[in-house]
């Protein structure tokens, strides 16, 4: 059953000629894939399109057609439609937020647990596996069927957010979309290899550091830490940790896992994963957000102070989960 919002988005797209599309800062595979598929769809309709991310799209996504068209600036021309993709709140647009919200019509397309949907049209579906799934739902409303390039971009977003069809969001709908995208020309083996396996040596070295930082789970909470020195000495970048946290939550005895990345002195980017515990609430209590079992936030303080605050919050959430269960 098509969702009515998909048709609403299509009508707004048809009525527009200059379209600004933007994703969240530190764009992930779903953000970049959704952005590039949407860009290509809009171009095929003869629209003027400006695809942007507030921080550069990592070059590990360079295999996606149009990757080099993504800029970090708002459009030089006045758009008549602005579309935000994969943004859990307009503030995730960071430096592009003001320009996007200033568009005469604003559309929010997202699958995060809608804390703060925004815009004139809100196509926010938390049960969707990926924003790519929602972009795919818009295509038929525009009488489009995905080209091989669009299918590859959407497939990348879909497998990224489902962890290669392993996470709890691996619904029949997600798998059917995967099949449709393969039929439309996405190469599943190649997309999975490029997204999950290919990585620089620095990332492999960083992974070793993260693994050796693991300690015994404390009451079901497993913490991994990467310091500024770990990044400096391996030459790795913040995005080289993508996917790392997902392997930690499966360590025996773990109910919740956290990866702390020191992005500036005593400033920690925290990724959280829960097996049976709502980590989105924990992230939200620290000003972050995300999904029920996959969330993130930023904490400031020494490694010891930040770790103990986190462990305390996660243990509290674990107690709640035990009571509910
Ligand atoms: Mn996503």
Q: What is the pLDDT of residue 2?
A: 80
Residue 159 has pLDDT above 90, yes or no: yes
Question: HEC profile for the chain?
Answer: CCCHHHHHHHHHHHHCCEEEEEECCCCCHHHHHHHHHHHHHHHHCCCEEEEECCCCCCHHHCCCCCHHHCECCCCCCCCCEEEEECCCCHHHHHHHHHHHHCCCCEEEEECCCCCCCCCCEEEECCCCCCHHHHHHHHHHHCCCCCCHHHHHHHHHHHHHHCCCCCCCCCCHHHHHHHHHHHHCCCCHHHHHHHHHHCCCHHHHHHHHHHHHCCCCCECCEEEEEECHHHHHHHCCCHHHHCCHHHHHCCCCCCCEEEEEEEEECCEEEEEEEECCCCHHHHHHHCCCEECCCEEEEEEECCHHHHHHHHHHHHHHHHHHHHHHC
What is the whole-number distance in angstroms between the Cα of residue 237 and the centre of ligand 1? 21
What is the whole-number distance in angstroms between the Cα of residue 265 and the centre of ligand 1? 28
- Over residues 290-322, the pLDDT tens digits come to 888 999 999 999 999 999 999 999 999 999 888
What is the whole-number distance in angstroms between the Cα of residue 325 and the centre of ligand 1? 28
Q: Where in the chain is the domain with CATH 3.10.310.30?
A: 201-324
Q: Where in the chain is the domain with CATH 3.90.1640.10?
A: 4-196
What is the whole-number distance in angstroms between the Cα of residue 252 and the centre of ligand 1? 27
Which tokens belong to 19?
């379209």
CATH architecture of 4-196: Alpha-Beta Complex (3.90)
324 — pLDDT class (breaks 50, 70, 90): low
Mean pLDDT of 25-33: 96
What is the whole-number distance in angstroms between the Cα of residue 291 and the centre of ligand 1? 10
- Over residues 211-260, the pLDDT tens digits come to 999 988 888 999 999 999 999 999 998 878 877 898 888 889 899 999 99
HSE (side-chain half, CA atoms, 13 Å) at 266: 5
Query: What pTM, to 2 d.p., does this model score?
Result: 0.84
What is the whole-number distance in angstroms between the Cα of residue 103 and the centre of ligand 1? 23
Average pLDDT, the chain: 94
What is the whole-number distance in angstroms between the Cα of residue 28 and the centre of ligand 1? 8
Residue 325 has pLDDT above 60, yes or no: no
Q: How many whole angstroms from its chain centre is CA 257? A: 18
Which tokens belong to 114?
């809608």
Mean pLDDT of 138-162: 98
What is the whole-number distance in angstroms between the Cα of residue 161 and the centre of ligand 1? 6
114 — pLDDT class (breaks 50, 70, 90): low
Q: What is the pLDDT of residue 120?
A: 98
Q: Determine what percent of the chain is predicted with pLDDT higher than 70.
A: 98
10 Å CB burial of residue 232 (0-12, 13-18, 19+) is: exposed
What is the whole-number distance in angstroms between the Cα of residue 86 and the centre of ligand 1? 5
Q: What is the pLDDT of residue 1?
A: 67
Q: What is the pLDDT of residue 152?
A: 98
Higher-pLDDT residue of 154, 215: 154
Distances (CA, A) of 306 to 119, 219, 237, 261, 283: 35, 17, 21, 11, 13
What is the whole-number distance in angstroms between the Cα of residue 162 and the centre of ligand 1? 9
Neighbours of 95 (CB within 10 A): 15
Could you give the CA distance from residue 230 to residue 71 in angstroms, rounded to a whole number?
Answer: 29
Contact 225, 307 (CB under 8 A): yes
Fold (CATH) for 201-324: Diaminopimelate Epimerase; Chain A, domain 1 (3.10.310)
Mean pLDDT of 75-103: 97
Mean pLDDT of 174-181: 98
What is the whole-number distance in angstroms between the Cα of residue 25 and the centre of ligand 1? 12
189 — pLDDT class (breaks 50, 70, 90): very high
Distances (CA, A) of 261 to 66, 244, 272, 298: 30, 11, 12, 9
Q: What is the pLDDT of residue 322?
A: 80
Could you give the CA distance from residue 58 to residue 68 in angstroms, rounded to a whole number?
Answer: 10
What is the whole-number distance in angstroms between the Cα of residue 131 and the centre of ligand 1? 5
Contact 24, 54 (CB under 8 A): yes
């Amino acid at each position: 059953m098509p969702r009515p919002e998909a048709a609403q988005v299509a009508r707004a797209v048809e009525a527009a000629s200059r379209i600004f599309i933007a994703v969240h800062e530190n764009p992930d595979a779903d953000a970049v894939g959704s952005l590039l598929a949407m860009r290509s769809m809009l171009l095929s309709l003869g629209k003027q399109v400006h695809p942007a991310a507030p921080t550069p799209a990592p070059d590990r996504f360079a295999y996606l057609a149009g990757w080099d068209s993504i800029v970090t600036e708002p459009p030089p021309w006045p758009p008549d439609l602005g579309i935000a993709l994969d943004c859990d709140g307009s503030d995730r647009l960071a430096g592009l937020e003001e320009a996007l919200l200033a568009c005469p019509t604003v559309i929010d397309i997202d699958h995060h647990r809608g804390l703060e949907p925004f815009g004139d049209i809100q196509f926010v579906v938390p049960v969707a596996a990926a924003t790519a799934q929602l972009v795919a739902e818009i295509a038929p409303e525009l009488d489009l069927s995905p080209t091989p390039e669009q299918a590859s971009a959407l497939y990348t977003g879909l497998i990224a957010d489902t962890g290669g069809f392993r996470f709890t969001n691996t619904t029949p709908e997600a798998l059917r979309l995967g099949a449709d995208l393969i039929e439309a020309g996405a190469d599943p083996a190649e997309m999975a290899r490029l997204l999950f396996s290919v990585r620089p040596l620095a990332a492999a070295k960083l992974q070793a550091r993260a693994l050796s930082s693991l300690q015994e789970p404390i009451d079901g909470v497993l913490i991994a830490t990467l310091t500024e020195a770990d990044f400096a000495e391996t030459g790795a970048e913040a995005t080289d940790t993508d996917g790392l946290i997902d392997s930690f939550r499966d360590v025996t005895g773990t109910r919740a896992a956290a990866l702390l990345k020191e992005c500036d002195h005593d400033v920690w980017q925290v990724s959280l994963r829960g097996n049976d515990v709502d980590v989105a609430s924990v992230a939200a209590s620290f000003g972050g957000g995300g999904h029920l079992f996959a969330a993130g936030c930023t904490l400031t303080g020494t490694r010891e102070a930040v770790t103990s605050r986190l462990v305390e919050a996660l243990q509290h959430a674990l107690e709640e989960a035990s009571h509910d269960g």
